[in-house]
Structure 1
Amino acid sequence: MWSGIGCAASPPLGDEDAARPTVVLLHGLARRAASMDRMAQVLSEAGYHVCNVGYPSREHAIADLAAQVVAPAVAACAPNPVVPVNFVTHSMGGIIVRELARAASVQTLGRVVMLGPPNQGSEVVDALGGWALFAAINGPAGGELGTSETSVPNLLGKATFEVGVIAGNRSINWINSLMIPGVDDGKVSVSNTKLEGMQDFIVVHTSHPFLMKDRDVIEHTLHFLSTGCFAHEEAPLTDLLPCNPDVLPSLQSDAAPVSKQQR
């Protein structure tokens, strides 16, 4: 039975809301919509119509969650198909948006900000995904987030929409970090958050569970939703497009523009 359908803390869309840009928030695996409440509050205060969507992340596969739960919730919160729908996602929520894009479930997809997304999978799933306890805690979707070529993140392909990725480089889970090569946030390596075709990328000194509550992350999110780029302290990468994806760091490198928290 499907559960968790709907927009948390989102009032019916009235005439005033219809004129405001819509942002849909999607939490991560084994989290709830309430984990995005701080982000929802700030975005609402900034003038966005916010739909904080809860979904039963541990009960179904990613494709089923996207099609049967998230897509209907988005349609209910943003019923006008010609108005762009923006997204801010945490962790697996970013993979849900990629599945929505693949299936063309959102007719007009706007800008997307992904926080700590396992866009190339997580080695933690590679190491623990076969354990019964892991499956019991994380469900079918959790087992789909490995790094193999056949994992869901790696089958979804490059971004076909305007997306910025924010990665964390601080871990409070040293056990997980032992399984992850390179710099990581305790769940995902910095390298594996990157997505081919992304518009911009930045690293903050924050751990995976707290990305959506971090002040700098929220500021970067607002900036990307408004401009299509993050608020880098460095000089623009080009005179015409500060976050031209053609000159972004390699997907195989941990190098990235750095947020002020790292300085």
Structure 2
Amino acid sequence: MLKCHFALVALALIFTPMVSAQAEAASVVTLHGLARSAQSMERMGESLQSQGYRLCNIGYPSRHHSIEVLATDHVLPQIEACLAQQSGPLHFVTHSLGGIIVRMLAARGHLPEIGRVVMLGPPNNGSEVVDKLAGLAPFRWLNGPAGSQLGTTEQSVPKQLGPAQFELGVIAGSSSINWLLSMLIPGDDDGKVSLASTRLEGMRDHLIVPVSHPFLMKNRTVMDQTAHFLRHGQFNHATR
């Protein structure tokens, strides 16, 4: 009987910390960019899961609707389902258009539990590529209504959303594999978005890495820096 009692106590000591750690684990939503899928964020998600985060990798039909419809009708219900499974703040890691969707939802008060956010290559001030190509049928076919809303004019969606009202870290790429598009973008860029456009008033930190736009979320340095910001609210500039 005494041995049985000790065995039960030992099991309690072993499993109680594990349950507590699981209960306290933060959740992260990963949100892909334009003309991509949730699969493009899988490697980033695996990296975050390996560090103890609960993951909600959200997919949405980015080429078929306006940014507003994508945000409220497709992304928000999935975020709410993720919130229903956890308590406390919900962090976000986004690529490109995904960051604009989070900004829209936050600006409209749909994310009261928002925690820290890391945006990868976000067109926070739009993209000159859209300014020059949005009138072409092939561009509209490839990028849909949302793509045409990402220009740099004051009427574009990114310019209408205001400063960050949450803890935001931005990682911008400075390498391009698409020299044709880069010719349309002033200054340094990642092949889709200029370094200047990634910046946003109110952001906590900004990091530049020599990575091209399509590969930001798969880069090891980017994954490590993303996790560092989620933990500490800033990037680790000492390891660059």
TM-score norm. by structure 1 comes to 0.82
Partner of 2:7: none
Segment drifting more, 172-181 vs 104-113: 104-113
Name the CA distance, whole Å, in 2 between partners of 1:226 and 1:202. 16
Partner of 2:117: 112
* Contact 1:199 1:228 survives alignment (8 Å): yes
Structure 1, gaps ≥5 residues long:
1-13, 234-258
Structure 2, gaps ≥5 residues long:
1-18
Q: Following superposition of structure 1 onto structure 2, how do residues 5-24 of structure 1 map, counting pairs within 5 Å? A: 18-24=23-29
Partner of 2:171, secondary structure, is strand
Segment drifting more, 120-129 vs 131-140: 131-140
Q: Which of 150, 163, 166 is the aligned partner of 2:168?
A: 163
**Does residue 126 in structure 1 map to residue 124 in structure 2?**
no
**Does residue 193 in structure 1 map to residue 202 in structure 2?**
no
- Once the two structures are TM-superposed, the CA of residue 79 in structure 1 deviates from its matched residue by 1.0
The one-letter code of the counterpart of 2:143 is N
Partner of 1:220: 225
**Does residue 175 in structure 1 map to residue 180 in structure 2?**
yes
- Once the two structures are TM-superposed, the CA of residue 18 in structure 1 deviates from its matched residue by 4.7
Partner of 2:38: 33
* Contact 1:82 1:107 survives alignment (8 Å): no
Query: Where does structure 1 differ by over 2 angstroms across 4 or more consecutive aligned residues?
Result: 14-19
- Once the two structures are TM-superposed, the CA of residue 23 in structure 1 deviates from its matched residue by 0.2
**Does residue 60 in structure 1 map to residue 37 in structure 2?**
no
Q: Percent identity?
A: 56
The one-letter code of the counterpart of 1:124 is V
* Higher radius of gyration, 1 or 2: 2
Segment drifting more, 129-138 vs 166-175: 129-138
* Contact 1:81 1:108 survives alignment (8 Å): no
Name the CA distance, whole Å, in 2 between partners of 1:207 and 1:170. 5
* Contact 2:90 2:113 survives alignment (8 Å): yes
The change in CA–CA distance for 1:28 and 1:174 in structure 2 (over 3 A counts) is same
Partner of 2:82: 77
Partner of 1:149: 154
Partner of 1:5: none
Partner of 1:102: 107
- Once the two structures are TM-superposed, the CA of residue 53 in structure 1 deviates from its matched residue by 0.2
Partner of 2:191, secondary structure, is coil
The one-letter code of the counterpart of 2:141 is A
Name the CA distance, whole Å, in 1 between partners of 2:70 and 2:220. 29
Name the CA distance, whole Å, in 2 between partners of 1:16 and 1:26. 25
- Once the two structures are TM-superposed, the CA of residue 107 in structure 1 deviates from its matched residue by 2.0
**Deviations 1:71-126 (Å, cap 9, x if unpaired)?**
10011112168511100000000000001101111221100000000000000000
Name the CA distance, whole Å, in 2 between partners of 1:148 and 1:17. 45
Partner of 1:245: none
Q: What is the aligned length?
A: 222
CA RMSD in angstroms comes to: 1.5
Name the CA distance, whole Å, in 1 between partners of 2:144 and 2:23. 36
**Deviations 1:32-58 (Å, cap 9, x if unpaired)?**
000001000010010000100000001
* Contact 1:165 1:201 survives alignment (8 Å): yes
* Contact 2:27 2:86 survives alignment (8 Å): no
The one-letter code of the counterpart of 2:36 is R
Name the CA distance, whole Å, in 2 between partners of 1:18 and 1:64. 33
